[in-house]
Structure 1
Amino acid sequence: MLAILGGTGLTQLTNLEITRRQVMRTPYGEPSGALTFGTLGGHEVIFLARHGYGHTIAPHLVNYRANLWALKQEGVKRIVSVASVGGIRADLVPGTLVIPDQIIDYTYGREFTFVDGTDRAVTHTDFTQPYTQSLRSRILAASRIADVSCLDGGVYAAVQGPRLDTIAEVNRLERDGADMVGMTGMPEAALARELGLSYATIAAVVNYAAGRGDSCNGVNLDNVGKVAQGVMAHVRTLLECVVECDGD
Structure 2
Amino acid sequence: MAKQAQGEHTPVGIIGGSGLTRLHALKVERQEVISTPYGEPSAPLTFGRFDGNPVVFLPRHGAGHTLPPHGVNYRANLWALRHVGVERAIGMAAVGGITSVMAPGVLCVPDQIIDYTWGREHTLYEGDLENVTHIDFTEPYCAELREALLESASQVGVPIYNGGTYAATQGPRLETAAEIKRLERDGCDVVGMTGMPEAALAAELGLCYACLALNVNWAAGKGDGPITMAEIEHNLEQGMGKARKILAAVAAV
Normalised to the residue count of structure 2, the TM-score between the two structures is 0.94
Of 212, 226, 239 in structure 2, the residue corresponding to residue 218 of structure 1 is 226
1:75-128, CA deviations, whole angstroms, 9 ceiling, x for partnerless residues?
110001110000001011100000000000000000000011325532100000
- Deviation at residue 13 of structure 1 after TM alignment: 1.0
Separation in structure 2 between the aligned mates of residue 233 and residue 119 of structure 1, nearest angstrom = 45
1:151-197, CA deviations, whole angstroms, 9 ceiling, x for partnerless residues?
00000000000000000000000000000000000000000000000
Of 30, 40, 60 in structure 2, the residue corresponding to residue 30 of structure 1 is 40
The 5-angstrom pairing of residues 143-162 of structure 1 reads 143-162=153-172
Q: Secondary structure at the match of 2:79?
A: helix
* Residue number in structure 2 paired with 1:43: 53
Separation in structure 2 between the aligned mates of residue 5 and residue 121 of structure 1, nearest angstrom = 31
* Residue number in structure 1 paired with 2:139: 129
1:164 alignment partner AA: L
Of 6, 19, 27 in structure 1, the residue corresponding to residue 29 of structure 2 is 19
Q: Contact conserved, 1:12 with 1:53, CA < 8 A, in 2? A: no
Q: Secondary structure at the match of 2:242?
A: helix
Q: Secondary structure at the match of 1:9?
A: coil
Pair 1:78-2:75 in alignment: no
1:146 alignment partner AA: V
Q: Secondary structure at the match of 2:166?
A: strand
Moved more, 222-231 or 132-141: 222-231
After TM superposition, the runs of 4+ consecutive aligned structure 1 residues lying more than 2 A away are 117-121
% of aligned pairs identical?
53
* Residue number in structure 1 paired with 2:114: 104
- Deviation at residue 226 of structure 1 after TM alignment: 1.2
* Residue number in structure 1 paired with 2:183: 173
The 5-angstrom pairing of residues 170-209 of structure 1 reads 170-209=180-219
Q: Secondary structure at the match of 2:150?
A: helix
Separation in structure 2 between the aligned mates of residue 200 and residue 12 of structure 1, nearest angstrom = 19
* Residue number in structure 2 paired with 1:238: 246
Separation in structure 1 between the aligned mates of residue 130 and residue 24 of structure 2, nearest angstrom = 40
1:40-63, CA deviations, whole angstroms, 9 ceiling, x for partnerless residues?
111111000000111110000000
- Deviation at residue 12 of structure 1 after TM alignment: 1.7
2:235 alignment partner AA: V
Q: How many residues align?
A: 243
Separation in structure 2 between the aligned mates of residue 123 and residue 231 of structure 1, nearest angstrom = 39
2:133 alignment partner AA: T
- Deviation at residue 233 of structure 1 after TM alignment: 1.2
* Residue number in structure 2 paired with 1:6: 16
Name structure 1 gaps, 5 residues minimum. Answer: none
